[in-house]
Amino acid sequence: MKHLESIEEFTQLRENGRTIFMFSANWCPDCRFIDPVLPEIEAKFSEFTFIYVDRDDFIDICQQLDVYGIPSFVAFENGKELGRFVSKDRKTQEEIEAFITGLN
């Protein structure tokens, strides 16, 4: 999964195409729990661009989007928010895939 590098890149990705931002952090055990299944999820939903957002590096974006728990997912299509799966709870592959399926 590509890592977000700048606020400008976030804006460009949010405004163009179908993007799912995954908010995470290296120290988060619930985030590491889903790491092994993320490539499979990305492959299954290839119509989306998946972007890893480190909450510690981009706390301003987290505040702007009201993302206070991780791991969390926020989906956009051409600047419009399609949906969010935001909480501090551990997420399963099935829950993440159900969230993404519900966006379509």
35 in helix, strand or coil? helix
Candidates 31, 34, 41, 61; catalytic one: 31
List domains and CATH numbers for the chain: 2-101 (3.40.30.10)
Model confidence pLDDT, tens digit, residues 12-37:
999 999 999 999 999 999 999 999 99
Write down the mean pLDDT value for the chain.
95
Share of the chain above pLDDT 90, in %: 94
Candidates 28, 38, 70, 103; catalytic one: 28
Model confidence pLDDT, tens digit, residues 91-102:
999 999 999 999
For residue 82, is pLDDT > 70? Answer: yes
Is-catalytic flag, 62?
Answer: no
pLDDT at site 87: 84
Spell out the residues 6+ positions from residue 102 whose beta carbon is closer than 8 angstroms to its own: 83
pTM here is 0.95
For 16-100, strand residue ranges (E) read: 18-24, 49-54, 72-77, 80-85
